[in-house]
Structure 1
């Protein structure tokens, strides 16, 4: 698809369907939402592109860079953002992604360093090995800060959340096996039905985190900086007290 036809579609708000967009220049696009369906981009540089409120359905992004892009309230539906042949994910470094919504997407090995992820939602996404270190889910409101983010029923095994503030965020039903939460703030974070097998929580603040109904095999609370008020189910006690040198017996 040529640049002129692409820009005309943006002006009219029409969906662009089934196109290869390898030669599109994403800089200085006309104002308006970008709407793509069933398109393919390879080695695309979308850095700094104004894509807020855009909609991407069934789009394949292979080795694409969104560094510094405006993705506020943008929707990604059933998109592939992982190049399985090159084993490389997309780069969202420093992107503005407040309120962005990913549903049924493949975000494996994606990088989010410096990205603003406040109120981001990932639902039923594959994001194994994704790197969230140095990303922010915090929004300043006067003198206070608000943290928001939802990762529901996602595959986040081996993901890196080192040092990220995740207080009050929601990981319900997600697989987080061997995910790295070192030095992470997890106060009141929800992990209901999640799989935290062998997750790394060195120096993490887990005060008030909700682990009920989660798989906690290999989760060593003794390595956390604070686990005051952590909510657990009775059936989890056997797995959780082992590192304390305790054994649980039935009454």
Structure 2
């Protein structure tokens, strides 16, 4: 039988030294915890918050994130494409997500606010109605990505080819429209 943890707060725990217990965490808060390189596979997080945590290179294979918020977390190189996709719902505020992968995930309505998403892979990801609020997308990969109704008005440094991605009703600002034209070798002054 799996362990069940409800409405618990975890603070300053180094999970590289203390193994995280497998099970279901409901409405729990993790603050200033270290998950770097930790195998956090086959765990369920439901309505949880992670604040000031380090998830860099954590293994999240078959891990469930259902209505989970990451706030001010370092999450470099995380392969989110390996998570359990059933009821997947995640949002990111002030996070470092460089070199992470969201390959082929269904992430409609996901919000990225003040995030660094350099070299992040969004290939074949479904990001309908997603928001990239004040996010750096330098080198992020958008290929066969569904960005319908997504908001890039305050995003920067993105390169999205309109011929290789779905952009119906996506929002861009006049200041960032050049990110749609880079592949066409057009000079914008």
TM-score by length of 2: 0.89
Q: Counterpart of 2:108? A: 167
**Partner residue, 2:69:** 121
Corresponding pairs, count: 189
Q: How far apart in 1 are the matches of 2:101 and 2:6? A: 26
Following superposition, the deviation at residue 134 of structure 1 comes to: 3.2
Deviation at 1:179, TM superposition (A): 0.5
Residue pair 1:67, 1:91 contacting (<8 A) in 2 also: no
Secondary structure, in 3 states, of the residue corresponding to 2:81? Answer: coil
> 1:111 and 1:223 mapped to 2: Cα distance?
34
Q: Pick the aligned partner of 1:71 from 17, 20, 25.
A: 25
Tell me the secondary structure at the aligned position of residue 226 of structure 1. Answer: coil
Task: Structure 2 unaligned segments of length 5 or more: list them.
Answer: none
Which of 132, 137, 162 in structure 1 is aligned with 2:80? 132
**What's the CA shift for 1:67?**
7.7
Residue 131 of structure 2 contacts residue 152 of structure 2 at CA under 8 Å; is this kept in 1? yes
- After TM superposition, the structure 1 = structure 2 runs for residues 19-168 of structure 1, keeping only pairs within 5 Å, are 48-62=2-16, 66=20, 68-82=22-36, 89-136=37-84, 139=87, 148-168=89-109
Post-superposition offset of 1:137: 5.7
Q: CA deviation at 1:153?
A: 0.8
Q: Which structure's relative contact order is higher, taking Cα pairs within 8 Å and 6+ residues apart?
A: 2
Larger radius of gyration: 1
Any idea what the Cα deviations from partners look like across 1:138-197, whole Å, max 9, x if unmatched?
A: 53xxxxxxx632111100000111111111010111100000111110111010101111
After TM superposition, the runs of 4+ consecutive aligned structure 1 residues lying more than 4 A away are 63-68
- Structure (1/2) with the larger helix percentage: 1
Question: Is there any run of 5+ residues in structure 1 with no aligned partner, and where?
Answer: 1-27, 29-47, 83-88, 140-146
CA distance in 1, matches of 2:120, 2:35: 20
Partner in structure 2 of residue 242 of structure 1: 182
8 Å contact from structure 1 (residues 92, 113) kept in 2: yes
| TM-score normalised by structure 1 residue count | 0.69
